[in-house]
Structure 1
């Protein structure tokens, strides 16, 4: 427990930071009068429940951080003319003592009111000096006011509210726009001019429609584009490949369609050089997997490689403010949020839930720093490439619900970081690799492949088969459970017609002559026993 009055005799004190302490008392004007040169006060996570009034008597503009406290009620009117940087995030504030528009301030540069309980329309936060404003995670409604269109404003962070209406065209002139998870409608304005300074555009989780604006190609500094979970109806934006700084492209859950292939204006030496997060899942893309584009992902070809931080730093005088945006990536079977400072360390390709066909290109094995690969729920055929053994940094691999055949490469067992694997619902055969990570995967990772065997499925492989080619052992299937054993007798009792149909079905799906012969022998055995029991019964009668 700290009493700030201990510092009242430090006449030249400029910065005070008592974060993560329980303060005894700071509600005194005497402290303010004793610290005339104070320019920065940080009292974050101090268990405060109200605004300390001693700052009301501070004469010079200063930075005030009261984030992560328990302050309730309304923001006092005196605060607007006192602060240059104001952080009130993560409190329980509900409004303002006096309309903000009544206070004309040229001092305020950065305002963070995120994670509170503000409601109603977005108020007027004076004008031309504001550089960064964050109102995310509140209950603001209505449209985005046009007065935010001023030449100095750099970052707008309005995510996770209930804001509706259309996106103002002037927001195309900003540095970073975070409007994700609102109720915005209409199309994205096609107003991005030459020399566009936009670096971040996050619009996921709205009701946007139309096409992706072609003028985005003018934003040569663009690093992140997230328009996922909307209703955008367009083809693959091949024209984005000219954006040499693009690191993350998220188009998931829209109405994108058509094939992904290179076009006549393709620039092989500059296309997608830094791109390392690609999420095209849950659309209507079709055709073969884009092998040409996989070859261009140079950033992922070096094991353990990272790019420079994607965080945006804005100089506000003597401070550097870095806003962090959570990018949602499906990893390890769930949606995980990655901050901007973490994104350079994540390499992800998610093309799941589309209509891709053909085989998996061997070139995928060259993406040595890949962490997440998801091709599930497509129509991909062929075998799992042996080149996957080179993916030493791979943590999550999902190839489920496709038409893959052949065996699971035994080399995959050497990928020590692999914690999630799903190859279920394919046509894979043979012995499931064992050792290292593969011993931690349960049967759900492999189910739906009639030709697979191994301890994970509790199906023994035929010992007569060598290496990884072992077919499921008939004896192991008979002995695996009493339920399976009795079920086979019931099937035999239904008559030869159903038996033959069952045999044909198993043959079609397994395509394994050895397995078919074993089934036929087993059926003959069942039928012979059944006939013998019938004859004995008649003799007794």
Structure 2
């Protein structure tokens, strides 16, 4: 072919392609009128509310329906996909769209009969029941109403969706803001079996949090195409089936959270394609088999609270593709070997809550990808190695609850990305290195219950991101400028208790903190109530015990905020061992623990205290209270476990009545002038551990 002929052919080809493209564009169908009407009618059933979408939605999520309007082609609307050849709506993605409202059985959503994909995840459908019409989309291949606040049962008509390749019915009735389930949506056993028999093309099946209450059906084995399977429902029971590992294409398996499943771990086949495996909370009560190393494709392995014992097999350290190793709350023993450094891709190492011993090995410090190291609550000993300071990617360090000793290495200040440092409940000594407080990224600092001495580094006042600072129960000394600490605008929790610290505080200065939750200032040489507590309406826990606070308990302590509204969060109040005088104050109705013992209070117990329906511990001992003990205290026995009225000046008879099924464990009336017979209702206190009626009359 000559050069000229080649050019002519090339021009001809370009012309034909251009013509084809023009024809295709001109033949493109716009949205059909009935489809647009159905979408707009569906839109009217919802309101747009920011809290309707889950916190798990990306920061750039937004209400897609807001941009729908009647004057435009609905095939161009965000979240809508059309078949250009005929104008039918075949895809609807309204995930994370801030939708709040109910989905009624007559909704026009079900008029979109050509739908192939339907994604409604992360919205709030306000306890709608799941309409059987969800099963009336004959071409549907993908259905996802994940975390949408449905209620009721999964309709059996869902089993008619024979073309489904992806079905996600997880967390249908879940509040992501309170992290609780209301009433899990139920999947009846016959519906479950029918679903597994009919939907044989499924590649992804997610049924987490559903109330299934049945063993794994044998029909599950029909789904040979499965690549992803999750039953984290907390409802499966019976024997764990080893056959679940026999799916040839399975890459993700999540059965975690089913505590009523029992069994043993199988021999793992070397042909497995598993990349994600979660078997957490299943009672295996055995050792981890060495064949775990056959799962060479694994990225994430989670076996928390599985009652596994013995040492972690050396073969685990050959899983070189692992990024997250999650073994907490088992009974693993032995030492962490240096071969753990084989896991060069490891980002998260979760080994807390075991019986591991020995020292923390140097080689951990050279695992350059680690972002989280959790070794808390083991029996590790020795010093923290300097090499841990080399972990430049680490954001969370958990070493609490071990037997670690020696000084805290100065090198731990090199972790420039660190946000959380948990070193409490060890035997660490020496002074706190200033470098430990030199990281502006720090959010959580826990150093309580060690043997640390000296001052708290002054750099603490510069940690503008700090939420929690706990350094209680050490040998720390020096002066802490409380006013400066309270200028850390994000501070939520502060515990300086039981050291040798003194507080510098200007009680005429109010704090600007708005979310303060926990105050621990026991044994801090306080002589008056800190004024900043006036405005802490979200306070949950208050410990001012073992100080020198004198006078009456101010009325504002339990009535906080600009409008003097009673605190609705305060649950733990400890004011024992001060020099408080005057009448016994009545704490908020939310109080669970109220200790004001070892003071100089006088007068009678106000009967209003009997209205504290949540009260579990009441300790009024070692005061100068007098009069009759209110009979109505017996009304609290359904919540009260400790009642200590010892060493006061109460008189008369003890007439409180305790009903059957009460929770009282500790009753102390010692050191009063009580007379008369012991109430027979005390026989109803079947949980008694301490009963002290000594030195009464």
Q: Same fold (TM over 0.5)?
A: yes
Shift in Å at residue 114 of structure 1?
Answer: 0.8
- The superposition leaves residues 288-320 of structure 1 with CA deviations (integer Å, 9 ceiling, x where unpaired) of 22222x1331213xxxxxxxxxxxxxxxxxxxx
- Aligned counterpart in structure 2 of residue 392 of structure 1, from 495, 499, 514: 514
State the distance in 2 between where 1:474 and 1:118 align.
58
Shift in Å at residue 105 of structure 1?
Answer: 3.0
* Alignment partner, residue 389 of structure 2: 217
* Alignment partner, residue 675 of structure 2: none
Is 1:350–2:470 an aligned residue pair? Answer: yes
* Alignment partner, residue 300 of structure 2: 132
- Aligned counterpart in structure 1 of residue 574 of structure 2, from 445, 457, 460: 445
State the distance in 2 between where 1:443 and 1:393 align.
17
State the distance in 1 between where 2:451 and 2:231 align.
47
- Aligned counterpart in structure 2 of residue 59 of structure 1, from 212, 217, 224: 224
* Alignment partner, residue 285 of structure 2: 119
- Aligned counterpart in structure 1 of residue 456 of structure 2, from 289, 299, 310: 289
Shift in Å at residue 371 of structure 1?
Answer: 1.1
Shift in Å at residue 405 of structure 1?
Answer: 4.0
* Alignment partner, residue 445 of structure 2: 278
Is 1:80–2:249 an aligned residue pair? Answer: no
State the distance in 1 between where 2:603 and 2:202 align.
86
* Alignment partner, residue 120 of structure 2: none
* Alignment partner, residue 299 of structure 1: 465
Shift in Å at residue 284 of structure 1?
Answer: 0.3
Specify the SS of the correspondent of 1:86. strand
Residue 80 to residue 435, structure 1, CA distance change in 2 (3 Å)? same
Query: Any unmatched runs of 5+ in structure 2?
Result: 1-152, 173-184, 560-565, 587-599, 605-622, 628-646, 651-697
> TM-score if structure 1 supplies the norm length?
0.69
- The superposition leaves residues 414-448 of structure 1 with CA deviations (integer Å, 9 ceiling, x where unpaired) of 22222322212112345544326358789973332
Specify the SS of the correspondent of 1:359. strand
Instruction: Report the RMSD for the aligned CA atoms in angstroms.
Output: 3.5
Shift in Å at residue 175 of structure 1?
Answer: 0.9
State the distance in 1 between where 2:527 and 2:413 align.
35
> TM-score if structure 2 supplies the norm length?
0.54
Contact 1:285 1:354 in 2 (8 A): yes
Contact 1:291 1:363 in 2 (8 A): no
Residue 261 to residue 38, structure 1, CA distance change in 2 (3 Å)? closer
Specify the SS of the correspondent of 1:366. coil
Shift in Å at residue 129 of structure 1?
Answer: 0.4
Residue 104 to residue 297, structure 1, CA distance change in 2 (3 Å)? same
* Alignment partner, residue 189 of structure 1: 361
Shift in Å at residue 56 of structure 1?
Answer: 1.4
Contact 1:413 1:433 in 2 (8 A): no
Shift in Å at residue 409 of structure 1?
Answer: 3.5
Shift in Å at residue 397 of structure 1?
Answer: 0.8
Is 1:201–2:321 an aligned residue pair? Answer: no
Query: Any unmatched runs of 5+ in structure 1?
Result: 301-346, 459-471, 487-541
Is 1:50–2:215 an aligned residue pair? Answer: yes
- The superposition leaves residues 338-388 of structure 1 with CA deviations (integer Å, 9 ceiling, x where unpaired) of xxxxxxxxx211111111122222421221221111111111225545467
Is 1:423–2:544 an aligned residue pair? Answer: yes
Shift in Å at residue 218 of structure 1?
Answer: 1.7
Which protein has the bigger helix share? 1
State the distance in 2 between where 1:209 and 1:473 align.
47
Specify the SS of the correspondent of 2:362. coil
Specify the SS of the correspondent of 1:407. coil
State the distance in 1 between where 2:489 and 2:537 align.
14
State the distance in 2 between where 1:395 and 1:285 align.
25
Is 1:70–2:236 an aligned residue pair? Answer: yes
Q: Which moved more, 1:426-435 or 1:414-423?
A: 426-435
Matches within 5 A, 1:369-408: 369-386=490-507, 389-402=511-524, 404-408=525-529
Contact 1:394 1:417 in 2 (8 A): yes
